[in-house]
Chain A
Amino acid sequence: MNIKAFSLDSIEGTYSSDVPAFAAAVKASGADLILVPGTSRVKRSMPAAAMRAGAAVDTNAVDVSVEGDKAVVSRWAYRQRILCSFSRAARPWVVVVDPALFPELCAKLGVSPEPLPESGASGETRTHVNGVVSASSGGESTIRPDAKLLFVAGAGWTKKQADGAAHLPEAAGLITGFLAKSGASLGSSKSLVDMPEAAQAFSFMSHMNQVGQTGATPRHPKGLATCCHGEEPHVVGWRFIAERRAVNLDANCGWAQGKTDVLYVADAFEVMKKVNELLA
């Protein structure tokens, strides 16, 4: 089987100019199986490009194995809840791979990625790219894909504490203090990012921080969840976190039981305050 891999580092591009360029690259490759990393730009334009090139396309692949003329792709359906393995007879077949796994899969299949041609076929465009802007209104981005640790904040941070009052500014200080000291990436439960009071107090956080069923499923070596209370659909948010620990007040919490390696039954405010002191 003729396998080719393309890489693409640049973020900026328009659909109308990328689609013809990518389609031309797929056609010109002459490959049966084409691997590309699922960056935002590739995911935007490659499906239409593959269609235009007469190729089949599948995205979010987490594994690809090849035996003779047969390729088997694995990907998750139902937002990381059901893992499927399948093949296709159609050739060429464009497989958009989870970007974190792209180098590993290329090495496994013995292919070296070549830069994906970004020009060569001109497309008329009505779109002008203005540039990249930060999603966070609170300064530095709290989403750090390369961080070793994912810190997941849950809605418990906004609840009334032992004194009968909510302590949002204190919670915000503890979370940002921990992120600054540990270099962790920030994830959030849906219930937290959906809260209007949290949107105001936690300006460093947006819907882009949301992990889980309707959010992201990031890959980090470690994950620490605090004040999170949820069942399986929310736990998919840290499906790909290798080592997991959680701090919350409910020993039977569905987020933690059977999903985390260690569950500390304690007040996250007190624990994170002390953690920040120790990290200082």
Chain B
Amino acid sequence: MSTPLHIVVCGSLVPDPLQTLEPVATPQGPGLKNENMLPSVLDPWAACALYEAANLAKQRPGSKVTLVALGPKAKLQQLMMTVAQKVPFELVAVNAPAGGFTDASETAAELAKAISAIPGLDLSSTLLFGGCASASRDQGVTLQFVAERLGIGEFFMAVDELKLADDDTFTVLERVEGGRYLSSTCKGFPAAVGWATGSLPEPPNNPQTGMMNMRGVMPALMKAPVAAVGTGGIAYEKTEVPSAKRATRVVKDMPVDQIAAEIVEWIRQ
């Protein structure tokens, strides 16, 4: 009989991709203009990791999912109003800055501390999930740092598929160069998995799941420890949005044959 799993998902908030971002200097280092006012979403790849975790937990009776989120408490609370309606999970929150300019090693140290403090965590039945990179810092290093601190020696990057067998072996497909996958099989746990898109759609909002999750979410937010996460050893010299505006030539009312000929000539140049 297969053993229940504990899937720990690291994931936090990022500015809504539809927002215009403008860097500004702050006493703590670079930040975003009106950062506290920007609407946030769950980091897209971390969200994929959360949905995959919930799907996997469903396949193994008794399994549970813990979302470990590091971010400003007030914004996490706002984010949970929507995320908590997606899939069942328990929340562990850390109250700390979560922008794109913070140091990954400091973030990882706080995440590892929070994960180690999860009551009853047994690494021998644990999968550590997260996005393959965040949509803020976009370094793709935090999960490896956390795994290293927790002593997890198996890690898979940019995973789109994880198939779990009853004997605790699992096969993963990792994205590699040229639109291909590297297929690997791992025997047992623990292991860390940095998810790419996966294959699951975003679950619809379920108010019942939301109400069930929120019973644990609010206390978790209340007792979220404050952590000092900053720019670490990074000395920023410049942060800018490079001007990318092009003088677009708009071609209207040109016959299709002529457009096609122009495109073909351009391709062949």
Contact = CB atoms under 8 A, between A and B. Distances in A.
A84 interface: yes
Contacts of B252: 251, 265
A262 B249 contact: yes
Contacts of A222: 266-267
Contacts of A85: 236-239
B74 interface: no
B135 A143 contact: no
B256 A270 contact: yes
Interface in A111-144: 123-136, 141-144
B107 interface: no
B171 to A, nearest CB: 7
A222 B263 CA distance: 11
B138 interface: yes
Interface residues of A, number: 96
Contacts of A82: 21, 23, 100, 239-241
A262 B160 contact: no
A264 B241 contact: no
A7 to B, nearest CB: 14
B155 A57 contact: no
Interface residues of B, number: 84
Contact of A214 (B44, B153, B263): B44
Interface in B47-80: none
B187 to A, nearest CB: 4
B21 A78 contact: yes
Contact of B186 (A79, A126, A131): A126
A134 B138 CA distance: 26
A22 B201 CA distance: 37
B215 interface: no
Interface stretch (A24-32, A46-54, A152-160): A46-54
Interface string A198-237: 0000000011111001100000001010000001110000
A233 to B, nearest CB: 4
Contact of B249 (A128, A144, A261): A261
B180 A134 contact: yes
Given A82-B100, A275-B260, A232 B20 contact: yes
Nearest to A129: B184
A108 interface: no
Interface string B172-187: 0111111111111111
A253 to B, nearest CB: 10
B45 A83 contact: no
B235 A86 contact: yes
Interface stretch (B1-9, B85-93, B143-151): B143-151
A39 B110 CA distance: 28
B197 to A, nearest CB: 4
Contacts of A260: 246, 248
A260 B173 CA distance: 35
Nearest to B202: A194
Nearest to A261: B246
Q: Which 9 A-B pairs have the closest CB atoms?
A: A143-B179, A274-B260, A47-B141, A44-B157, A77-B100, A207-B197, A130-B183, A233-B17, A40-B176
10 contacts: A78-B21, A88-B235, A126-B153, A145-B177, A210-B197, A214-B44, A214-B197, A247-B263, A267-B256, A279-B264
Given A84-B239, A127-B187, A261-B246, 19 more contacts: A15-B156, A40-B158, A47-B140, A84-B101, A89-B233, A126-B154, A130-B171, A132-B182, A141-B178, A141-B180, A214-B135, A222-B267, A261-B249, A264-B251, A265-B251, A274-B260, A275-B260, A278-B260, A279-B264
